[in-house]
């Protein structure tokens, strides 16, 4: 296996196209309950609306963006201000090659630096590679929402995971 060299940096407005393409791959591959493809303009607006507590980062290989990740608002209520929901997406051609690992490492670092107490996520229990990645980084399974969403005509379960920082 070839080990790739990755670099992680804050996302910039010009990354909107790559972020959009990677997110749309995740939607097409049913890695999310999201079903509506995004546009570059929508992703550019999404990036512009982010605040310092909820950054987006990208991972590059040879100068090409191959993944992105973000710290997201978990719940708008003030009591939850120390909890961040996370998103991690990697382009098909880079999955299983360490890009997700680099992104998750950076999200955990950012979460600590920003002052979050906990990171949480919701994913599909059948996505074994993602579940294994999160477990490696100390995320624990909190529970499963049974038949949480209707995707392609079938009810799907959603796995909830958390990590205290």
Q: What is the pLDDT of residue 100?
A: 96
Q: What is the pLDDT of residue 3?
A: 52
- Reported in sequence order, the residue ranges of the chain that DSSP labels E, i.e. its strands, are 7-10, 56-61, 64-73, 83-90, 118-123, 140-151, 154-164
Look at the alpha carbons of 149, 155, 156, 158 in this order and tell me if their dihedral is positive or negative: positive
Choosing among 3.40.50.720, 3.40.630.30, 3.40.190.10, 2.60.120.10, the CATH entry for 7-164 is: 3.40.630.30
Strands 7-10 and 154-164: unpaired
Q: What is the pLDDT of residue 133?
A: 96
Backbone region of residue 30 per phi and psi (left: phi > 0; alpha: psi in -120 to 50; beta: other values): left
- Residue 158's DSSP bridge partners are 145
Q: Scanning the structure block, which residue is given the tokens 């997110």?
A: 23
> CA 165 → CA 64, 92, 119, distances in Å?
30, 29, 7
Q: What is the pLDDT along the chain (165 residues), one digit of tens a residue?
A: 455 699 999 999 999 999 999 999 999 999 998 999 999 999 999 999 999 999 999 999 999 999 999 999 999 999 999 999 999 999 999 999 999 999 999 999 999 999 999 999 999 999 999 999 999 999 999 999 999 999 999 999 999 999 999
Q: Rounded to an integer, what is the distance from CA 152 to the centroid of its chain? A: 22
Quick one: tokens of 161? 């995971």
Which residues are CB-neighbours of 118 under 8 A, at least 6 positions away?
82, 83, 84, 162, 163, 164, 165
Taking the model in full, what pTM does it have?
0.94
């Amino acid at each position: 296996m070839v080990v790739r060299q990755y670099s992680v940096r804050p996302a910039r407005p010009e990354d909107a196209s790559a972020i959009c393409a990677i997110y749309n791959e995740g939607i097409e591959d049913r890695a999310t309950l999201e079903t509506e493809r995004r546009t570059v303009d929508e992703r550019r607006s999404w990036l512009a609306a982010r605040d310092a507590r909820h950054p987006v980062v990208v991972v590059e290989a040879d100068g090409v963006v191959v993944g992105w990740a973000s710290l997201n608002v978990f719940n708008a209520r003030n009591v939850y201000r120390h909890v961040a929901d996370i998103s991690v997406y990697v382009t098909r051609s880079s999955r299983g090659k360490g890009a997700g690992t680099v992104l998750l490492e950076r999200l955990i670092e950012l979460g600590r630096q920003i002052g979050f107490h906990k990171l949480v996520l919701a994913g599909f229990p059948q996505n074994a590679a993602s579940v294994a990645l999160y477990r490696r980084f100390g995320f624990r399974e909190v529970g499963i929402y049974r038949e949480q969403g209707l995707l392609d005509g079938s009810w799907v379960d959603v796995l909830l995971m958390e990590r205290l920082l």
